[in-house]
């Protein structure tokens, strides 16, 4: 079974993926970590040295590769992965389940504010401007995320509850 988790940054893709993987005894792959391992370079460094266009092409190649290499896996994508090129079609055509982990703008802002230093995309954005940035970004990406086979709202739910809801979709 191939399960692909999509959603905005800080929506819980990696946390849900790791716990789901453990409970289902299926390998977990974080696409960003996979890219970093393959390239022996951080995502930030790839962006700064080779540019976003290079990264997005590489991201597509690595997405295809990881989905082809595994007969069964839980894959956590980057927040922007489904929104570039034909990545969402690749996800839909090469997985059994695609799950959009949806959070409200305020829910995302609460999470991102606590992790700003680890999130290069928002590290330079002032706290007062974060909600506007996230809202605009989410509006642009929502159409891609909405193509997922399933959508689960994570607002007001703990990790175990979200994982339990994802598991119910997989039967």
Q: Which residues are annotated as a binding site for ATP?
A: 10-15, 119
Q: Which residues are annotated as part of the binding site for Mg(2+)?
A: 14
> Whole-angstrom Cα distance, residue 65 to residue 34?
10
- Helix locations, 3-158, DSSP H: 13-24, 31-39, 43-69, 87-93, 105-113, 127-145
DSSP state of 76: E
Q: Which residues are annotated as part of the binding site for substrate?
A: 32, 56, 79, 141
Q: Is 117 exposed, middle or buried (0-12, 13-18, 19+ CB in 10 A)?
A: exposed
Q: Which residues are annotated as part of the binding site?
A: 10-15, 32, 56, 79, 119, 141
Closest listed residue to residue 110, CA positions, set 80, 139, 132, 130: 130
């Amino acid at each position: 079974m191939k399960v692909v988790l999509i959603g905005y940054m800080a929506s819980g893709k990696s946390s849900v993926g790791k716990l789901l993987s453990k409970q289902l005894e299926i390998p977990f792959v974080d696409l960003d970590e996979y890219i970093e391992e393959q390239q022996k370079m951080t995502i930030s460094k790839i962006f700064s040295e080779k540019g976003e266009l290079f990264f997005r092409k590489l991201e597509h190649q690595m997405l295809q590769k990881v989905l082809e290499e595994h007969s069964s896996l839980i894959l956590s994508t980057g927040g922007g992965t489904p929104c570039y090129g034909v990545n969402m079609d690749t996800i839909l055509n090469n997985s059994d389940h695609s799950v959009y982990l949806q959070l409200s703008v305020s829910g995302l802002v609460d999470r991102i504010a606590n992790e700003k230093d680890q999130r290069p995309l928002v590290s330079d954005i002032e706290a007062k401007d974060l909600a506007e940035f996230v809202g605009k970004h989410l509006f642009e990406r929502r159409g891609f995320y909405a193509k997922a086979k399933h959508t689960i709202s994570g607002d007001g739910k703990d990790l175990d509850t979200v994982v339990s809801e994802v598991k119910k979709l997989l039967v």
